[in-house]
Amino acid sequence: MGSCEKGSCGHGGAEKNAASQEEEQLHRQLQQIQHKLLVMSGKGGVGKSSVAVYIALGLANRGYKVGLMDVDLHGPSTPRMLGITGMFGMDEHKRLIPHRYNENLEVVSIEYLLEDRDSAVIWRGPIKHGVIKQFISEVNWGKLDYLVIDCPPGTGDEPLSVAQTIPDAHAVIVTTPQEVALADVRKSINFCRKVQMSILGLVENMDGLVCPHCGKEIDLFRRGGGRRTAERMQLTLLGSLPFDPRVVEGGDAGRPFMEGPSDTPFIQAVNRLIDAVEERCLPAEAPTAAKTVAAKPEVASAAGGNALKVAIPTAQGVLCNHFGHCEQFAILSVKDGRVDGREWVTPPPHEPGLLPRWLANQGIKVVISGGMGQRAISQFAEQGIRVVTGAPVMDPDALLQKYLDGSLETGPNVCDH
């Protein structure tokens, strides 16, 4: 590109322009993707790619639009597992068209850019970063409910690039049940804390073998390690998948073991894992324009011993817009679709990340607020708490009853944190 000093001719400006257009394109694309899940592991071979594939397939089977992005640039394995080969196509805007596995699942992998499947990729960090960015901004993903990202093991360039490129990604950490896996999980957790990525939870893979002949369970590794690790690390255990030889066969043959009989322990475990992912990715009901929101059926119909608890931040007895600095929380219980009790609780002094944990410890399942920052919304989602934002300033009982009746009018999320 000639020998001009940057900025002394028109080139610097043109470069800046191109860079800001790229950023805009990236931003637009990310806005079209509701949930971004980064599947990672502290060490190799724990079945991270398999877990990414089964999460993507399980969500797609439930009707979600899902993208699977394989950024394991040195050892892409999702194309093999899904039996998809061939190079990318391009659309009329010169954007890459992802490979379509089925109606709901589309896949992008570095392998589709390589002429030769066995080529070794030798790239340094900045190049990898560029490729990962392009996998989002220059791929015609369209609107997605979930983007599942398969990263190489460890905490190197790829997960770092994902964290920098997708600030609202949630990590799914994969481990095996052995006690020694604890140290690897800790590495992943430390990484997530450093880059401020929220953790959706832990998946324990190869938790016991179901003998295909007699159906008896054989412990491959010491069992229960995933649960103990999750408890120690204060993480949610999203699920435990057993070892099933059909996963290996399916992976090698490019036909994932997902369509078999639904009473198979492995498929049942995948379904439970998908339940947990869905539950943890509760969409924040955070409308940007006025709309009416209704309580989910499980909230409205909470009955008897299953009474549900809802928290509303208040000041002087009515909803307070400054969620993190409210005077008191109204903790309301719901039974048979009605507000059934209320207590006032003073929150601990404000400290980032504390309130979601504090409210979760009190069994809260829903928070109705005026404004709330995206980070706090993600932290509530991590605790399995649904958040409604943009609620009007009014008496908490009346507010909750409107929500239960499906007549709560919400406006923009007014938080600017």
Ligand X SMILES: Nc1ncnc2c1ncn2[C@@H]1O[C@H](COP(=O)(O)OP(=O)(O)OP(=O)(O)O)[C@@H](O)[C@H]1O
> Which residues line the annotated binding site for ATP?
42-49
CB of 78 to ligand X, least distance (A): 9
The tokens for 148 are 């599942």
41 part of the interface to ligand X, by CB under 6 A: yes
Contact 257, 246 (CB under 8 A): yes
DSSP letter at 244? -
CB of 227 to ligand X, least distance (A): 17
Using CB under 6 A, which of 7, 13, 44, 89 touches ligand X? 44
Nearer to ligand X, 243 or 329 (CB): 243
* Site track 184-223 with ligand X (rule: CB under 6 A), x = hit: ---------------------xx-----------------
50 part of the interface to ligand X, by CB under 6 A: yes
- What 3-state DSSP class applies to 200? strand
Tell me which stretch binds ligand X (CB under 6 A): 38-46, 140-148, 279-287, 320-328. Answer: 38-46
The tokens for 405 are 């009746």
Nearer to ligand X, 40 or 376 (CB): 40
Residue type present at position 287:
P
49 part of the interface to ligand X, by CB under 6 A: yes
Q: Report strand pairing: 99-102 vs 105-109.
A: antiparallel
Q: In the window 139-178, what residues touch ligand X (CB under 6 A)?
A: 152-153
∠ CA(346), CA(348), CA(351), 5° rounding? Answer: 140
Tell me which stretch binds ligand X (CB under 6 A): 10-18, 195-203, 242-250, 399-407. Answer: 242-250
Nearer to ligand X, 187 or 335 (CB): 187
Nearer to ligand X, 58 or 153 (CB): 153
389 part of the interface to ligand X, by CB under 6 A: no
Nearer to ligand X, 42 or 370 (CB): 42
Helix axes 374-382, 354-361, angle to 10 degrees: 30
Nearer to ligand X, 44 or 317 (CB): 44
Query: Could you tell me the CA-to-CA distances from 102 to 61, 91, 261, 267 in Å, in that order?
Result: 9, 19, 20, 19
Q: Which residue is nearest to ligand X (CB)?
A: 44
Using CB under 6 A, which of 9, 18, 19, 248 touches ligand X? 248
Using CB under 6 A, which of 33, 35, 36, 47 touches ligand X? 47
Report the distance separating Cα 34 and Cα 147, nearest Å. Answer: 8
Nearer to ligand X, 49 or 383 (CB): 49
Using CB under 6 A, which of 58, 79, 251, 396 touches ligand X? 251
Report the distance separating Cα 346 and Cα 331, nearest Å. Answer: 10
End-to-end CA distance of the chain: 42
Q: 334: part of which helix (H) or strand (E)?
A: strand 328-335
∠ CA(51), CA(57), CA(63), 5° rounding? Answer: 140
Nearer to ligand X, 206 or 367 (CB): 206
Give the interface size with ligand X as a residue count (CB under 6 A): 21
Q: Which residues are annotated as a binding site?
A: 42-49
Residue type present at position 16:
K
**What are residue 37's phi and psi, to 5 degrees?**
-115, 120
E strands, 143-290, are 144-150, 169-175, 198-210, 217-218, 237-243
CB of 52 to ligand X, least distance (A): 8
Query: Could you tell me the CA-to-CA distances from 135 to 71, 113, 256 in Å, in that order?
Result: 9, 11, 24
CB of 80 to ligand X, least distance (A): 9
Q: Which residues bind ligand X (CB under 6 A)?
A: 41, 44-50, 72, 75, 77, 152-153, 205-206, 241, 243-244, 247-248, 251
